[in-house]
């Protein structure tokens, strides 16, 4: 889809003319919707969770082929909002995803005590096979804002789940449903009085749990054990303070070189962070743009032809309208990160 040789021929012009990467909206839902998280299946299909107005998981099959359509894959009528999604390792015949969700009043305003975690089982690589949905836990009766979910590499019976309001990351046993909220409790995960969202995106990379804190607009990390608990004596380290570059930081993904791509939500952009040089670039969007309005989460392609395509989920700027007035339906946008 994107031509590398042509791009290098115009590379000089590109430096001065095109600061951001090419972006294409794959599909957009109706006004008043909010997609909160995104995952990509091993077969390349996209999964996107809807936080508002109802608990739906959408899929976009074959995102490199037209037409790209957000189709409903699963709905969870027992809850009203879905937040994070993560895949856990399984046997060769199936795929398993874990989502967390809750009931709530308005956008991003969950009701304490209504959270639950669910597994979604899909037939491996099948686009039309049966899906099996199962509630695995009612979490903690004082869970206030369960948000990010991450796989623990190689672990099939547990995930980590962050609580943006309580400021911790818990360890959820998928067999027993036991949710240990004491696993990671650090002040760097807390929200602030001004911004009630602390720990948000959580991902494990090279033996560390990386997490964003939306309120302090920072990324932190802590060394972990293979089972997904803090390593003995490990301390939280600041990876980068983005507060001079963005007003909010939501979920993120690593590329193959270990750079971070983060959605900025209120800033309507995606930024890249080179962890060696700590250089930060806006790769798509901007405060006054609708390109990725209300960007919530990002994930790289896993198909044959889209490994350098970053898929961005958005919430249509419902929380912070662009220019104070403009909102739109939630969408999924494909961004070619190889073009710069």
| Angstrom distance (rounded) from CA 219 to CA 211 | 6
CB nearer to ligand NAG: pick between 106 and 141: 141
CB of 215 to ligand NAG, least distance (A): 9
Write the interaction track for ligand NAG spanning residues 2-41; mark x where CB under 6 A is met and - where it is not: ----------------------------------------
Q: Is residue 243 part of the contact set for ligand NAG (CB under 6 A)?
A: yes
CB nearer to ligand NAG: pick between 188 and 336: 188
Q: Is residue 142 part of the contact set for ligand NAG (CB under 6 A)?
A: yes
CB nearer to ligand NAG: pick between 131 and 241: 241
CB of 202 to ligand NAG, least distance (A): 17
CB nearer to ligand NAG: pick between 142 and 288: 142
- Dihedral, 94, 98, 101, 107 alpha carbons, nearest 10: -90
CB of 250 to ligand NAG, least distance (A): 16
Q: What is the CA radius of gyration of the chain?
A: 19
86 SS3 class: strand
How far is CA 202 from each of CA 76, 81, 149, 327, rounded to the nearest angstrom? Answer: 23, 19, 6, 27
Question: How many CB atoms within 10 Å of residue 67?
Answer: 9
User: Which stretch in 72-80, 148-156, 203-211, 320-328 sits in contact with ligand NAG by CB under 6 A?
Assistant: 72-80
| 270-299 binders of ligand NAG (CB under 6 A) | none
The order of strands in the sheet holding 280-285 is 252-254, 260-263, 269-273, 280-285
Overall residue count recorded for the chain in this entry = 340
Q: Is residue 114 part of the contact set for ligand NAG (CB under 6 A)?
A: yes
Largest CA distance in the chain: 59
On whether the CB atoms of residues 163 and 172 are closer than 8 A, the answer is no
User: Which stretch in 7-15, 236-244, 245-253, 299-307 sits in contact with ligand NAG by CB under 6 A?
Assistant: 236-244
User: Which stretch in 1-9, 24-32, 87-95, 235-243 sits in contact with ligand NAG by CB under 6 A?
Assistant: 235-243
| Angstrom distance (rounded) from CA 218 to CA 120 | 31
Residue 284's DSSP bridge partners are 270
CB of 339 to ligand NAG, least distance (A): 31
Which residues form the interface with ligand NAG (CB under 6 A)?
78-80, 103, 112-114, 141-142, 216, 218, 238, 241, 243
């Amino acid at each position: 889809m994107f031509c590398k040789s042509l791009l290098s021929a115009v590379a000089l012009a590109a430096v001065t003319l095109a600061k951001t990467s090419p972006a294409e909206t794959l599909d957009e839902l109706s006004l008043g919707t909010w997609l909160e998280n995104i995952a990509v299946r091993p077969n390349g299909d996209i999964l996107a969770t809807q936080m508002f107005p109802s608990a739906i998981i959408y899929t976009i099959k074959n995102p490199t082929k037209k037409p790209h359509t957000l189709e409903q894959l699963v709905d969870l009528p027992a809850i009203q909002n879905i937040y994070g999604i993560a895949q856990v390792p399984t046997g060769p015949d199936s795929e398993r995803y874990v989502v967390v969700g809750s009931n709530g009043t308005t956008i991003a305003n969950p009701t304490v005590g209504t959270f639950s975690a669910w597994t979604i089982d899909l037939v491996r690589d099948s686009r039309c096979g049966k899906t099996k949905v199962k509630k695995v836990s009612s979490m903690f009766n004082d869970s206030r804002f369960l948000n990010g979910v991450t796989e623990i590499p190689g672990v099939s019976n547990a995930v980590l789940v962050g609580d943006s309001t309580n400021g911790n990351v818990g360890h959820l046993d998928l067999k027993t449903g036991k949710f240990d909220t004491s696993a990671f409790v650090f002040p760097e995960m807390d929200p602030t009085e001004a911004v009630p969202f602390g720990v948000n995106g959580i991902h494990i990379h090279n033996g560390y749990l990386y997490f964003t804190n939306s309120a302090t607009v920072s990324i932190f990390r802590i060394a972990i054990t293979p089972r997904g608990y803090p390593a003995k004596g490990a301390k939280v380290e600041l990876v980068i303070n983005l507060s001079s570059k963005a007003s909010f930081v939501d979920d993120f993904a690593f590329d193959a070189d270990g750079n971070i791509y983060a959605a900025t939500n209120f800033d309507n952009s995606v930024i890249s962070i080179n962890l060696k040089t700590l250089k930060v670039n806006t790769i798509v969007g901007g405060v006054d743009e609708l390109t990725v309005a209300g960007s919530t989460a990002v994930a790289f392609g896993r198909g044959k032809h889209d490994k350098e395509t970053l898929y961005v989920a958005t919430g249509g700027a419902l929380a912070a309208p662009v220019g104070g007035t403009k909102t739109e339906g939630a969408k999924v946008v494909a961004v070619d990160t190889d073009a710069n």
